[in-house]
Structure 1
Amino acid sequence: MKQLPLDLQLPEPFGFDDFLIGPNLEAFLALKALADGEGQESVIYLWGEAGVGKRHLLQATMARAQEHGLIARYYDAATTDLGETAHGAQLLAVHHVDQLDAETQIVLFGLINAQRERGAAIIMAGPQPPMQLHLREDLRTRLGSGLVFEIQPPADEDKAALLRHRARARGCEVDETVCRWLVTHQSRDLASLTRLLDALDREALAAGRPLTLPFVREALANNALSDKTPGPQSAT
């Protein structure tokens, strides 16, 4: 009899302990200092291609700051408008600044100035360096007025190790060869890889088979996951 898998989706971890630092130590330490209330910089801008972990870093910083009792708020400009609730926070994070329309660009410009005047901080992120963004010139200048870090992807072997760690945290025992194969043959976006591995684990459970590399190849070749894998989510 075919065993039905339990469709339990654990939330994606967004803590500092879950971030694979790789070549991003300087940015990691600067954000951690802000979250701990020890940072001196009021403006930090992160940029890099999709999937390198910008959202992870922003949300990890906000979560750690809140653990320390700071008022910290996260906004994704692609889905949420900046409003009055953004004022008054000790630490702000604004992701996808490239998605701001003309009105919200003015709002963000004012927020950056307000955070500086209050001795508070704001962290922002986008896909390109400040001066390459299609935004108001004065806003681009403000984005680049503090610390600017390019967030770079980790090496494939480090991704495979973290992928296995995340799988085991979800109760999924997977061989290291499976993780290495997924990293080199599928998306190199860790969030997408984690969701794929979750789907493969459920498929293996339903089939009553171990999650081995032959099973993974078979499942992907047969498009067994085409209607079971969660849709794409931003992990930038």
Structure 2
Amino acid sequence: MARQLVFELGHRPAFGREDFLVAPSNGAAVALIDSWPAWSGPAAILSGPAGSGKTHLAEVWREKAKARRIEAAALEGADVPALVAARALIVEDLGVLSDAAERALFHLLNLTAQEGAFLLLTARDAPGRLAIRLPDLASRLKALPHAALGAPDDALLAGVLVKLFDDRQLRVPESLIPYLAARIERSVAAAHDVVAAIDRASLSGKRPITVPLAAEVLAGQGEMEL
């Protein structure tokens, strides 16, 4: 029997401010983004685990501030004055950086303040836990306005699941959302993974999305509660 081929068609995630679901786990981060440009300084930092919503909020700010975006690791060899000339910049995913990237980030922070520009940084870890070797840079990062995003609560996780199915224009039974929310890892990343897997399973088997189909997907991922 020929294997069913599945072509995963692209879908456009909704990244507008109105699409971001606010909850106690992310309220401080939302408030920080919403308060721009009335920040207490020219730079701020968002931290949180993968899939917690940092990229969504950064995208909201990018649209609002007309900002450019660069990965932190790409700062090594970057033209810092040219980055600051954009007037607003997002530096994504601060982590273990090369010495050259650390020096570039320190220069970027200084020049951003001198030129009256704005800078939004994102990281998985809080500023005080980043593996920064340059003492002046570590001190500067710890002094920035900072908001952390945490793992979603039940209501937020359910809302994220609804949004992810809507992003893919998939109609699902109402009972599916609490079923999934009670069984997957409590993270936005896990919600992304399970919605994509259910979509693939539905396409592959030419089956409607139902609780039994979701149960099969979860069992295949080893996530069913026994």
Q: What's the TM-score once normalised by structure 1's chain length?
A: 0.79
Whether the 8 Å contact between 2:50 and 2:189 is mirrored in structure 1 is no
The offset of 1:5, in angstroms, is 5.4
SS of the residue aligned with 1:204? Answer: helix
Structure 1 residue aligned with 2:86? 89
| Match status 1:75 vs 2:70 | yes
| Identical amino acids, percent of aligned pairs | 29
Counterpart of 1:61? 61
| Aligned equivalent of 1:169 | 167
> 1:172-198 CA distances to partner (integer Å, 9 max, x unpaired)?
011233222323322333244234313
- Structure 1 residue ranges (4+ consecutive) displaced by more than 6 angstroms after TM superposition: none
Distance 2:12 2:98 in 1: 30
Residue in 1 that maps onto 2:31: 29
The answer to whether the 8 Å contact 1:52/1:151 transfers is yes
Seen in structure 2, the aligned counterparts of structure 1 residues 221 and 25 have a Cα distance that, compared at 3 Å, is closer
- What is the rounded CA distance, in whole Å, between the counterparts of 1:47 and 1:212 in structure 2? 35
For this pair of structures, how many residues does the alignment match?
216
Alignment of structure 1 residues 154-193 onto 2, 5 Å? 154-193=152-191
Structure 1 residues 195, 11: CA separation in 2 closer, same or farther (over 3 Å shift)? farther
Q: For the Cα contact (< 8 Å) 1:47–1:150, is it kept in 2? A: yes
- Tell me, which stretches of 5 or more residues in structure 2 are unaligned? 222-226
Q: Which residue of 2 aligns with 1:124?
A: 121
1:44 is matched with 44
Assess, with a 3 A threshold, how the Cα gap between structure 1 residues 215 and 159 changes in structure 2: closer, same or farther.
same
CA contact (8 A) 2:84 2:117 kept: no
CA deviation map 1:123-176 (0-9, x unaligned): 112222222222022111111223111222331222112311331232101123
Superposition TM-score, scaled by structure 2 size: 0.82
In structure 2, what is the Cα distance between the partners aligned to 1:93 and 1:126? 11
Query: SS in structure 1 opposite 2:159?
Result: helix
